[in-house]
Amino acid sequence: MSKNQKVAIIIDQLFQDSEVTDPKDKLENKNFIVDVIGPNKSEEFIGKKGTKIKANKSIDEVSAADYVGLVIPGGWAPDKMRMNQKMVKFVEDINAKSKPIACICHGGSMLVEADIVKGKRLTSYASIRTDLINAGAKWVDKEVVVDGNLITSRTPADLPAFCAELLKALSLVEV
């Protein structure tokens, strides 16, 4: 894997801590450049368990063309991110290029907002199951589900399988 390949992680307040830190660590250990992208760079983002992360990029300064993949963590951050049209458009643009998008927990609500779940087999935290089904997804209860470029998992307990599938998908990306 190239040291120049970049992966985006989008973030907002009250993200699920390990759903950011675990994928970030695994990606960096495989020599990916990881950009943590927030609605801005001026505030510190605090996870549900207290982890503090400062975004190194704002959504205003990034393009889907710059990244080989995207991670969307859960927690309560996706409820905030789905209200940000620039973040939703970023997800749409990554998907339009068929680049891997890995969502865990409540991250799937960003897929709903980007209108990219119809006909896709997905999983998520149980509380957004109905949202995904109503948006046209085929929801299943498994630790990790891969359908095309979409990788989904349910909870932090699924992170090992989630990260393994993310790294596998990124190894197949042509640059």
| Residues with catalytic roles | 105-106
Are residues 16 and 80 in contact, defined by beta-carbon separation less than 8 angstroms? no
Residue 81 neighbours by CB under 8 Å, 6+ apart:
10, 11, 12, 39, 72, 87, 88, 110
Q: Please report, as a single letter, which amino acid is at residue 13.
A: Q
146 forms bridges with which residues in the sheet? 151
Instruction: Give the separation between CA 163 and CA 24, rounded to whole angstroms.
Output: 9
Cα dihedral 163, 161, 80, 90, rounded to 10, equals 50
Residue with tokens 């307040």: 13
Instruction: Give the separation between CA 20 and CA 116, rounded to whole angstroms.
Output: 22
